Structure 1
């Protein structure tokens, strides 16, 4: 069973010990990727040269029996942008060819962008996925559809994918369409009900604070609940940067894969890094886990290789070790609250207030999201509580150092690679 002590940090991998009873059992290979969207620099490439965007990751993705990515935008030729807190994204229906180029078998839809162009564009997205035989989960025309797990039979092994998110900007499904939101009890019940029906349960969640190396405690607690409910692996994305791995009750929890085929116009180093999770499973259990890191360039992706690989592995270990106990995880979060500081809070509030004056609907959406989404609620609540209790400066040096590195290191800065 996977544990922190049996994970090979130099290889970024774990493999179960083979026994005589394992002989002859077929291993199913699964690849799980992070955020995918035909936007910005990748918009034209995904239309004109869809295979090239994946670079030397393409043969790795094609070598698996099941491939999964997070579709971080609608695919539609119509619709209008909604008023929301953050950026709005949209690909066109023709960009489906870039999903089919791998081909990805499944996309998760529980995220904060799939409703960026309204209901018509969302319906178009489901239509183009269905017509091209790409299965999906995590959103729908009702809460029943959004909450439904996807069960796939691969080589006579039943695999379930359970997908949920924070339902940012009030996009969670209720009486109408939406994503599967932060209803942890419902997700737990779904996992428990699946245990007697499937062989392997993958939980994928889109959540957390962007751009930092550690998950907030509320995310860690939620992911641990999923393990206790019966998940065989839990994987997160949304932070747009790599975060570490935890082994909880002999079950891997991966907090953020970082960006995948998702371009951000920045020179910040960690927003240009991500990793695939490659799994090997059989009917009985997880038998292997490998993390495949890659870089994101203007023209696509490329595997991290050679002299760059060891620094990545070392840094990944450094951000993973504090996740193995709750106390270190809490003080890692404290490091972010310290870095954010009173000035950061003041600047954020001022920016929103100014936006309300100049663009009332946009500004109101930004403020509403701060009040209604878990990540912002926990961020501000914990930050203000630390001030009240005089604890804002109580975080250890290592957490502040790593937070600063993740938020400020540039792509041409080689001073902090070891």
Structure 2
């Protein structure tokens, strides 16, 4: 199984001994990608030339026996935007062709946008997915449906996908429809229950702080808990930038794949980068792991050019090494709290108060989400604790520099090519 020392940091890959001698008939090729939404500049491209948005990644996607993507918006021709903390997204039902053109086999729905246009739009999304034979997991019309793992058979190999999120804006399933929320005991029990009958378990979670290079400690603890429960790989979405890889007791954990087919109108460099995960598995174990980095452009995606790869992998290793032990991870998190600082806290509080004055429902949704979602709870709790204890500004320089780079570094021409 992969370890820190056996992972090839120059290629972003690992292969088990003897894997090359196995027959393809007994191997499943799995491709896991990040956030996908037919919005902004990608909206028309996905409608008019759906395959083109994937650029030269399309052959990689098509070669998979099982391909997964995070559907980060409803697909509906109806509905009105809900009041929530962040932006609201919606694609239309004809945008399904941008999924079927690959085709993607599975979409994960446990995220903070699938209910952006309410329950009817969510129902429309399930309908259009079902009509086009795209399987889904991570949300549902009941908590039982939302929490149910998806099990697929690929070449006789039983693969399970377990999907959960933080349930932002009170969207976690309960007595009503919703996403699979942050119930770690329930997720852990699910993994343990299916472990004996499943060959390979993929856990995908939507969580964490956006735009920074490291996961908060509560996310790392949760992902390690899933690995201990029996997950074969753990994947993170939501930060919209690439984060590193950890090998926890030989279980690979990718904390954030970054954006995929998800366009953001920005010149910030790391929001224009992502990577997908290619796996080869058989009934016994993981055989290989390959990370494929790409850039995000106005016209779609493209694999990083050969001359760009050494720089990407060097930086990827730099943000991955601190994930391997608690002390370094806590230092990385402290660096973010230090960088955010008192001014960041003042700015955020002031923004919310002003929004409550000018748009009461929107402002109330923003403040409510700060109080009810773990990413904001841990952010503010840990920041205020550092302030109380007088050690806010004692973080190591290396962590602050990486935080600043991820939040401020801008593209320069073809830098992301």
- Could you say which TM-score interval applies, normalised by the shorter chain? over 0.9
Q: Deviations over 1:209-242 (max 9, x none)?
A: 0000000000000000000000000000100000
Instruction: Provide the C-alpha distance between the structure 2 equivalents of 1:105 and 1:413, rounded to a whole number of angstroms.
Output: 35
Instruction: Say if 1:414 and 1:298 are closer, same or farther in 2 by CA, change over 3 A.
Output: closer
Matches for 1:272-291 after TM superposition, within 5 Å? 272-291=272-291
Matches for 1:34-183 after TM superposition, within 5 Å? 34-183=34-183
Secondary structure at 1:51 match in 2: helix
Instruction: Provide the C-alpha distance between the structure 2 equivalents of 1:301 and 1:23, rounded to a whole number of angstroms.
Output: 32
Instruction: Provide the C-alpha distance between the structure 1 equivalents of 2:195 and 2:255, rounded to a whole number of angstroms.
Output: 23
Q: What residue number does 1:212 align with?
A: 212
How far did 1:22 drift? 5.2
Q: What residue number does 1:261 align with?
A: 261
Stretches of 4+ aligned residues off by more than 6 angstroms: none
Instruction: Provide the C-alpha distance between the structure 2 equivalents of 1:317 and 1:331, rounded to a whole number of angstroms.
Output: 17
Instruction: Say if 1:87 and 1:67 are closer, same or farther in 2 by CA, change over 3 A.
Output: same
Q: What residue number does 1:230 align with?
A: 230
Instruction: Say if 1:286 and 1:309 are closer, same or farther in 2 by CA, change over 3 A.
Output: same
Q: Deviations over 1:63-87 (max 9, x none)?
A: 1100000000000000000000000
TM value normalised by structure 2: 0.98
Q: What residue number does 2:245 align with?
A: 245
Q: What residue number does 1:357 align with?
A: 357
Instruction: Say if 1:371 and 1:24 are closer, same or farther in 2 by CA, change over 3 A.
Output: closer
Matches for 1:357-396 after TM superposition, within 5 Å? 357-396=357-396
Instruction: Provide the C-alpha distance between the structure 2 equivalents of 1:155 and 1:19, rounded to a whole number of angstroms.
Output: 17
Instruction: Provide the C-alpha distance between the structure 2 equivalents of 1:23 and 1:29, rounded to a whole number of angstroms.
Output: 12
Instruction: Say if 1:397 and 1:48 are closer, same or farther in 2 by CA, change over 3 A.
Output: same
Instruction: Provide the C-alpha distance between the structure 2 equivalents of 1:241 and 1:181, rounded to a whole number of angstroms.
Output: 22
Q: Deviations over 1:225-267 (max 9, x none)?
A: 0000000000001000000000001100000000000000000
Q: Does the 8 Å contact 1:25/1:282 carry over to 2?
A: no
Equivalenced residues, count: 416
How far did 1:394 drift? 1.5
Instruction: Provide the C-alpha distance between the structure 2 equivalents of 1:255 and 1:326, rounded to a whole number of angstroms.
Output: 15
Q: Deviations over 1:365-394 (max 9, x none)?
A: 000000000000000000000000111011
Q: Does the 8 Å contact 1:31/1:279 carry over to 2?
A: yes
Structure 1's unaligned 5+ residue stretches are none
RMSD: 1.4
Structure 2 residue 301 is the aligned partner of structure 1 residue 301: yes
Q: What residue number does 1:347 align with?
A: 347
Instruction: Provide the C-alpha distance between the structure 2 equivalents of 1:195 and 1:218, rounded to a whole number of angstroms.
Output: 24
